[in-house]
Amino acid sequence: MSTKHPLLFRVDELVAARRFDPADAPLLQAFLEANPEYFERIGGAPPKPDEAATELAERPPAELSWREHFNIGLWREAPDTAPALIGIAIVDSDLVIEGCWHVALFIIATALHGQGIAPRCYRALEQWAAAQGARWMRLGVVLGNARAEAFWRQLGFVELRRREGVPANDRLNTVRVLLKPLREPDVAPYLAQVARDRPE
């Protein structure tokens, strides 16, 4: 049950964000298998049998510094009903530089798409990150994943550069590196500090 984990933040009166731990892998695996669209779009195949355990164990590449890793479950906790997992967010704080929070994965249940829940969940996550010191939100989106590209654009993200040949199963994708400044007028202060994300 989700309430065994401390609350990180609330999206609204019904949706709460709580931290996963490795023991939650079966629950997360069931969610990913019920909502396979992300994996099918970027890798051409549904989640692997150990996808949840892999996601919960994965950390940023060894050459990149970071402060804290968050595996976050988004739960609908309505009165008189069992909590229901409706989404997941995987986030790393202070990636490469202090104040840069990287969203490694963000999935909302397919049945809830188009209802405004996904942007509400993301905005609550962003506000929580900002309260913890985030100055920028960063993520990668696969080129051609039109729905995701439009979603992040509408939330204020801008492209920094593209990385080609990023593997996902048997595919090699082009990934658009996106950034949203939370306190700065534009991306220039970030790019001045992070050479790896400057346009080539």
Contacts of 131 (CB under 8 A, 6+ apart): none
- What's the CA dihedral at 118, 124, 129, 132 to 10 degrees? -160
Q: Are 90 and 70 in contact (CB under 8 A)?
A: yes
Question: pLDDT of 155-197, one tens digit each?
Answer: 999 999 999 999 998 899 999 999 999 998 899 999 999 999 9
Alpha-carbon distance of 194 to 199, in angstroms, equals 11
The CATH number that applies at residue 169 is 3.40.630.30
Taking the complete model, does pTM exceed 0.85, yes or no? yes
State how many domains the chain has.
1
pLDDT at 152 over 60: yes
Q: Which domain holds residue 18?
A: 2-197
Alpha-carbon distance of 90 to 71, in angstroms, equals 5
CB burial of residue 137 (10 Å; 0-12, 13-18, 19+): buried
Question: pLDDT of 92-126, one tens digit each?
Answer: 999 999 999 999 999 999 999 999 999 999 999 99
* pLDDT band at residue 1 using 50, 70 and 90 as cut-offs: very low
Of residues 27, 30, 29, 3, the one with CA closest to residue 17: 3
